[in-house]
Chains A and B, each alone.
Chain A
Amino acid sequence: DARVTQTPRDKVTEMGQEVTMRCQPILGHNTVFWYRQTMMQGLELLAYFRNRAPLDDSGMPKDRFSAEMPDATLATLKIQPSEPRDSAVYFCASAPGGGGETQYFGPGTRLLVL
C-alpha cells in the first residue's frame, strides 16, 4: 500500500532553532507539494516541485523557509530560524504527474515553536 511518509510526526522546539521536515513521496510520483495548515489560515500551499525542480514557492516566507528535493525519494522543508508563528501542521503531498489531479497526503508534521 503505497503512501507518503513524513518525519518527524511531532516536533517541539524553541524559537530560533532550525527545523527540518522530511517527506518521502510515493514512488513514481513526480510532483511534490508542501502545505501548512492552521486553524486561522486553513491549508496553505508553501511550495511545490515537479521532477525535483521547484515550480512555485511564492507561498513560502523566503527569509526563513527553504524547500529542496535532493533526490526523487526525498523532499525537505527547513525553517531557520523558527518562530512561534510557524507553529502549524505541515503536510507533504505527492501526485503522479502534472498535478491538478489527485494528491496523496502524508500524515503531517505537527510543529510547535515555543
Chain B
Amino acid sequence: SQQGEEDPQALSIQEGENATMNCSYKTSINNLQWYRQNSGRGLVHLILIRSNEREKHSGRLRVTLDTSKKSSSLLITASRAADTASYFCATDAGYGNNRLAFGKGNQVVVIP
C-alpha cells in the first residue's frame, strides 16, 4: 500500500488563486518530499522537508509538516496555468534501504 495519501484527489482553481494539498502517512519518517508530474512526463522534485522542520518555502511553494499528526500540506500561491499537473508526496520511512513510497497523486488544474 502507498505510504503517502494525498487529499483532495483533484482540484480545479482559477489562475491567481492558491492551491492547497494535503498528504498523510502512517509511519515515522526522516523526510517527506513533494514531486510534480506534468502530463506525459516524469516526476520532478519540488521540495524536501525533514522531520525536524515544520515549514519550508521555495518560491511560490510552501510546505508544512506535522509529525504528530503524520501529515503534510503543500501550498502553491498565486497559481499559474503552468502549475497544472499532478502532485505527489513521498516519504522515506517504513521500508528501510532508503526507498521512497509515493502517494497516488493529486491532480491540479489551473484555469487561465
The reply to whether chain A is a binding partner of chain B is yes
Chain A residues packing against B (C-beta within 8 Å): 4, 31, 42-43, 45, 48, 55-56, 91, 93, 95, 98-108
Q: In the complex, what residues of A have CB within 8 A of residue B98's CB?
A: 31, 95, 98-101
Q: How many A-B residue pairs have CB under 8 A?
A: 56
A108, B100: Cα distance in complex, Å = 18
A108, B40: Cα distance in complex, Å = 8
Determine how close the nearest CB of chain A comes to the CB of B61; give it in whole angstroms: 15
| In contact, A105 and B42 (Cβ under 8 angstroms) | yes
Chain B residues packing against A (C-beta within 8 Å): 2, 30-31, 33, 35, 41-45, 48, 88, 92, 97-105
A101, B48: Cα distance in complex, Å = 8
| In contact, A104 and B99 (Cβ under 8 angstroms) | no
Which of B33, B45, B88, B99 has the largest number of chain A CB atoms within 10 A?
A: B99
A98, B30: Cα distance in complex, Å = 13
Determine how close the nearest CB of chain A comes to the CB of B31; give it in whole angstroms: 7
Q: In the complex, what residues of A have CB within 8 A of residue B104's CB?
A: 42-43
| In contact, B99 and A102 (Cβ under 8 angstroms) | no
A99, B95: Cα distance in complex, Å = 12
A55, B104: Cα distance in complex, Å = 24
Q: In the complex, what residues of B have CB within 8 A of residue A95's CB?
A: 98
| In contact, A42 and B42 (Cβ under 8 angstroms) | no
Q: A56-B99, A102-B48 are in contact. List 10 more A-B contacts (CB 8 A).
A: A43-B102, A45-B100, A99-B92, A99-B98, A100-B30, A100-B31, A101-B48, A102-B45, A105-B35, A108-B41
Q: List 19 A-B contacts (CB under 8 A).
A: A43-B43, A43-B102, A43-B104, A43-B105, A45-B100, A48-B99, A56-B99, A91-B42, A91-B43, A93-B42, A99-B92, A100-B30, A100-B98, A102-B45, A103-B43, A103-B45, A105-B35, A105-B42, A107-B41
